[in-house]
């Protein structure tokens, strides 16, 4: 179910944007019914050079997602294991916690992104943060990544991982590894695939957070989607915030990484709740390039400004 409610226009006091000339901004409240386990958050996006569409992380071409219950949560049977994949090598970017006690998944992802400019999968578990777990926790990450890579028939360097949950607890590796075949078999490019993943990454969240928009870049339609979780401890600098962003725009690695950092600085890093920094903050962004849009290689180009505007809109989750 996908609903949009339009709110009255609000006069803007600042200068007109280069991207659109209207001095008024309409807001839409869009509600996506995700599951009977946890409701979806209403998403408020400003009017701009984009159209909001259903689909979340699977809206862009080339992406699939799934979320299942894998027995990782301490109680209940809410989905707790998610996977987002890309059919091709996707240009990758990431933003992470500034906490000196970074969790094992954060350390792994930082290293992976330093080694390679592309990735094809993101595994996310809820239940155990795998933070302050030492070498054993890092080895758990390696084993989980290798298992995902084997099932997806890709290199382990193409798989990234995010974790959220109780600090000091290692991943329930046995349960996770046993659940991976079902998770991979559940992958879907449908809205339902994106919705199930958005549920699976939540912990104490009261709602899921998922959104997608499409726009025109160089005469081609491009799509950006995203999902995020975060509840309590979400300041400073993204604390306890996980996110995955997907797009089918064609963009170079250096430009994409700068754009993602700008979007994170304007959104996740502005949220304040209790002044703590999480060990697990992670936002991973993948660009498949399957839209066939013009290649964006300069931050100063009109195409880059358009993509940044759409990326900033998606940050509204």
Segment 108-141, tens digit of pLDDT: 999 999 999 999 999 999 999 999 999 999 999 9
Looking at residue 240, what is its pLDDT? 63
- Establish whether 229 is an annotated binding residue: yes
Mean pLDDT of 80-88: 99
Residue 246 marked ligand-binding: no
Question: Could you tell me the two tokens for 234?
Answer: 């979400």
Task: Find the mean pLDDT for residues 45-66.
Answer: 95
Whether pLDDT at 259 is above 60: yes
Predicted confidence (pLDDT) per residue in 186-213, tens digit? 999 999 999 999 999 998 888 899 999 9
Higher pLDDT, 29 or 122: 122
**202 annotated binding-site participant:** no
Long-range (24+ apart) CB contacts under 8 A made by 146-152 are 147/177, 147/180, 148/83, 148/121, 148/123, 148/180, 148/184, 149/121, 151/180, 151/181, 151/184, 152/85, 152/120, 152/121, 152/184
Q: Residue 202 has what pLDDT?
A: 92
Q: Is the pLDDT of residue 43 over 90?
A: no
Q: Indicate the pairing of strand 118-128 with strand 282-287.
A: unpaired
Say what the pLDDT of residue 64 is: 99
Q: Facing residues of 6 across strands? A: 28
Q: Which pLDDT score is estimated for 277?
A: 63
Lowest mean pLDDT segment, chosen from 93-102, 207-216, 251-260: 93-102
| Backbone phi, psi, residue 303, to 5° | -65, -40
Q: Which domains does the chain have, with CATH numbers?
A: 52-315 (3.60.70.12)
Q: Among 166, 188, 168, 116, which Cα is nearest to 145's?
A: 116
As a whole number, mean pLDDT of residues 15-34 equals: 40
Exposure letters 220-246 (e unless 16+ CB within 10 A, then b):
eebbbbbbbbbbebbbbbbbbbbbbbb
Residue whose structure tokens are 């995902």: 148
Token pair for residue 227? 């999902």
Residues with a known catalytic role: 240
- If one compares 238 and 217, the residue with the highest pLDDT of the two is 217
Percent of residues, the chain, with pLDDT higher than 90? 68
Rounded CA separation 38/35 (Å)? 6
Secondary structure (3-state) at 15: coil
d(Cα 128, Cα 169) in Å, to the nearest integer? Answer: 5
Write out the DSSP string of 214-242.
EEEETTEEEEEEEEEE--S--BSTTTT-E
Q: Which residues contact 14 (CB under 8 A, 6 or more apart)?
A: none
Name the region of 195 (left: φ>0; alpha: ψ -120 to 50; beta: rest). alpha
pLDDT of residue 237: 41
Task: Enumerate residues 6+ apart whose C-beta is below 8 A from 174.
Answer: none
Residue 34 confidence (pLDDT): 44
Q: How far is residue 167 CA from its own chain's centroid?
A: 21
Cα(196)–Cα(79) distance, integer angstroms = 8
Mean pLDDT value of segment 298-305: 96
Note the pTM of the prediction, 2 decimals: 0.85
CB distance 117 to 158 below 8 Å? no
């Amino acid at each position: 179910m996908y609903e949009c409610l339009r709110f009255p226009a609000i006069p803007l006091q600042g200068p007109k944007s280069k991207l659109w000339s209207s001095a008024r901004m309409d807001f839409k409240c869009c509600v996506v019914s995700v599951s009977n386990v946890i409701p979806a958050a209403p998403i408020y996006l400003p009017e701009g050079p984009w159209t909001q569409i259903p689909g979340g992380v699977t809206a862009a071409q080339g992406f699939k997602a799934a979320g299942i219950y894998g027995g990782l949560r301490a109680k209940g049977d809410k989905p707790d294991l998610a996977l987002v994949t890309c059919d091709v090598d996707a240009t990758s970017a990431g933003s992470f916690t500034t906490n000196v006690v970074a969790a094992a998944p954060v350390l792994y992802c930082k290293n992976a992104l330093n080694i390679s400019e592309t990735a094809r999968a993101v595994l996310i578990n809820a239940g155990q943060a795998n933070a302050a777990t030492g070498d054993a926790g890092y080895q758990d990450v390696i084993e989980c990544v290798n298992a995902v890579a084997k099932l997806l028939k890709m290199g382990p360097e193409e798989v990234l991982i995010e974790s959220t949950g109780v600090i000091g607890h290692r991943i329930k590796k046995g349960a996770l590894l046993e659940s991976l075949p079902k998770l991979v078999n559940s992958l879907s490019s449908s809205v339902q695939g994106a919705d199930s993943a958005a549920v699976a990454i939540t912990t104490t969240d009261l709602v899921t957070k998922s959104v997608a928009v499409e726009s025109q870049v160089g005469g081609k339609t491009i799509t950006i989607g995203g999902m995020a979780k975060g509840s309590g401890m979400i300041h400073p600098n993204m604390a306890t915030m996980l996110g995955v962003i997907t797009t089918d725009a064609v963009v170079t690695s250096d430009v994409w990484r700068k754009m993602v950092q700008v979007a994170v600085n304007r959104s996740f890093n502005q949220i304040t709740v209790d002044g703590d920094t999480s060990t697990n903050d992670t936002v991973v962004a993948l660009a498949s390039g399957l839209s066939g849009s013009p290649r964006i290689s300069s931050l100063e180009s009109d195409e880059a400004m358009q993509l940044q505007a759409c990326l900033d809109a998606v940050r509204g989750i």
